[in-house]
Structure 1
């Protein structure tokens, strides 16, 4: 029986993306919940965790299903995936450094309110090289939405408002929940792409089996 030409690494790359997006989307939702200062805390927390867990399971299932795919790659393909993983690590590390620098600057200048929108901007920009690196076009869209969300929040919305003697962090709520929805939506799209790769691999295996019989 012939193996699928779709390498296991291709599907697992999508699965890893799903899990990263599920985790960080849930973290962003937590920022939005924190900005509400106790309003609807429990129900929103449960809902956010539920969404995150469901999406995380989706990524794990992709990894499990990918075990039936071939793990054999040509030397060129193997080197290419190693370079992709290396540049992913560099991109992720640079994102962490920029967030750390932004945090230090915001603290030293006593402008911590700017930190959350700036994080969204950094995360948005970091999607562009990932889109090119892994050839996932939705990352361009997601990165643009995050940058746009950050800009709109910074230039059009108040930092906080007072409602019934309760101070609500408008920037945290807008950027937190907005970023969560963007990342979760991207997560679902990447998951669908991973499933299409699996289905395509399955179809090719069936075609090979039928060809072998005749």
Structure 2
């Protein structure tokens, strides 16, 4: 899941980073739980430990960015027509993703293919990155979409070859959690860049922030 940037002030940009980082934390936890519940300790809980450490790191940076944003003065946010359009399209994509997952679940349940649900979710999540990449003009979202779709396809292939869900689901979970981790790292780097720009003299500060 991506998060739209609505303005160029330091506070609004940090809030955008916080939104993206919160998505990373939530979805990494979700995929980690799905993988570990399916494995039921067969991996000696290594997946849980690894991604818990990643989530904790994300929380540390979340607290850092939140503390800085909280200290910044409130500024009037001027949202132009282009930003409103992006926000509207983001909402439509988000709703379409949720509806797609619900429809897919119903179809799979009625056709006796419930075991395809997890790779199906991964496929829909992967696909949703492509329109987001176009809406927000972010090449990184294209890479995210391709990677997550490939993870989903691997899951479908493994299932078609008869591998049990305690093999296929963790593979998909690790892949998707790795993708959300990569997204979180991108948000952390962006947040640190914003903090660095804020330390510059006012003139250079404002010019550079508009490019982030």
SS at match of 1:72: coil
Per the TM alignment, residue 101 of structure 1 is displaced from its structure 2 partner at its CA by: 0.7
SS at match of 1:71: coil
Name the count of aligned residue pairs.
196
Q: Superposition RMSD on alpha carbons, in Å?
A: 2.6
Gaps of 5+ in 2: 1-7, 206-212
Rounded to whole Å, the distance in 1 between the matches of 2:73 and 2:84 is: 19
Per the TM alignment, residue 135 of structure 1 is displaced from its structure 2 partner at its CA by: 3.6
Moved more, 84-93 or 198-207: 198-207
Rounded to whole Å, the distance in 1 between the matches of 2:39 and 2:79 is: 53
| Greater RCO, 1 or 2 (C-alpha within 8 Å, sep 6+) | 1
Q: TM-score, normalised by structure 1?
A: 0.78
Per the TM alignment, residue 131 of structure 1 is displaced from its structure 2 partner at its CA by: 2.4
Aligned position for 1:211: none
Does structure 2 retain, via aligned residues, the 8 Å contact 1:146–1:182? yes
> Does the alignment pair 1:28 with 2:25?
no
Aligned position for 2:115: 113
> Does the alignment pair 1:19 with 2:22?
yes
Rounded to whole Å, the distance in 1 between the matches of 2:10 and 2:91 is: 21
Which among 175, 181, 184 is matched to residue 178 of structure 1? 175
**Cα gap change, 1:56/1:135 in structure 2, threshold over 3 Å: closer, same or farther?**
farther
Which among 133, 146, 149 is matched to residue 144 of structure 1? 146
Gaps of 5+ in 1: 162-167, 209-214
**Bigger radius of gyration among the two:** 1
> Does the alignment pair 1:10 with 2:3?
no
Does structure 2 retain, via aligned residues, the 8 Å contact 1:125–1:147? yes
Per the TM alignment, residue 43 of structure 1 is displaced from its structure 2 partner at its CA by: 5.0
